[in-house]
Amino acid sequence: MTARLVVLVSGAGTNLQALLDATADPGFGAQVVAVGADRDGIVALERARRHTVPTFVCRLADYPDREGWDRGLAELIGGYQPTLVVSAGFAKLFGEHVLHRFAGMLINSHPSLLPSFPGLRAPRDAIDYGVKVTGVTVFMVDAGVDSGPVIAQAAVPVVDGDDEETLHERIKSVERGLVVDTVRRMVQDGFRVEGRKVLIG
């Protein structure tokens, strides 16, 4: 059976693009059935439309409060009956409705080797700390900030002279492959979560 992916985005959507390209092959075992965003006018939504994938926008400003927004987002995602929800550069924290409804099937990627450098400035924090190796982590989303069980990681060197942008681009070139490969393994081989461990296959 072909797995149904809902991908959540907020920006450039290069991870989304990698998923759209990979899932164009029916042998991948999954298709992107919808792309959701927290804002309009982003390149990621154009990428989805170019692939004729349905899109939805769930703006915080359109709801009376954050809880209403979170409930609305859960409904929108759920309407596409996903088997896996992939947060690919989605720039907001999820609330209890999304977390509860998609528990164990909501994954995210983060541009550091967690638990080092959680939060929004991971590449900058890695440079400021002076580490020589950082990387990317694909993880199961839980109620904390970048704190859920790790699914996959890859290391990326920090090079002398790196700034936030050059390092983040180097990380993203690895991240795209790791996200695609991890989703592929999860949908093809199955997975289960045992405490902090995510076991694929």
Candidates 7, 86, 175, 191; binder of ligand GRF (CB under 6 A) is 175
Query: In the structure encoding, which two tokens stand for residue 24, read together?
Result: 């164009």
CB of 97 to ligand GRF, least distance (A): 21
No. of helices (H) and no. of strands (E), the chain: 6, 9
**Of the listed pieces 14-22, 26-34, 77-85, 97-105, which binds ligand GRF according to CB under 6 A?**
14-22
Helix (H/G/I), strand (E/B), else coil: 69:
helix
Of the pair 14, 182, the CB lying nearest ligand GRF is at 14
- Cα distance between residue 96 and residue 102, in whole Å: 10
- Cα distance between residue 73 and residue 97, in whole Å: 8
Q: Are 149 and 195 in contact (CB under 8 A)?
A: yes
The residues with which 109 forms a beta bridge, in sequence order, are 138
168 is annotated as an active-site residue:
no
The closest residue (CB) to ligand GRF is: 89
> Does 182 interact with ligand GRF (rule: CB under 6 A)?
no
- Cα distance between residue 150 and residue 129, in whole Å: 22
> Does 172 interact with ligand GRF (rule: CB under 6 A)?
yes
Of the pair 108, 186, the CB lying nearest ligand GRF is at 108
Q: What's 61's DSSP letter? A: G
**Of the listed pieces 13-21, 50-58, 63-71, 151-159, which binds ligand GRF according to CB under 6 A?**
13-21
Number of residues that bind ligand GRF (CB under 6 A): 14
Q: Which of residues 82-121 bind ligand GRF (CB under 6 A)?
A: 88-89, 109-111
- Cα distance between residue 99 and residue 141, in whole Å: 8
Of 97, 100, 110, 168, catalytic: 110
Using CB under 6 A as the criterion, which residues of the chain lie in contact with ligand GRF when the complex forms? 11-16, 44, 88-89, 109-111, 172, 175
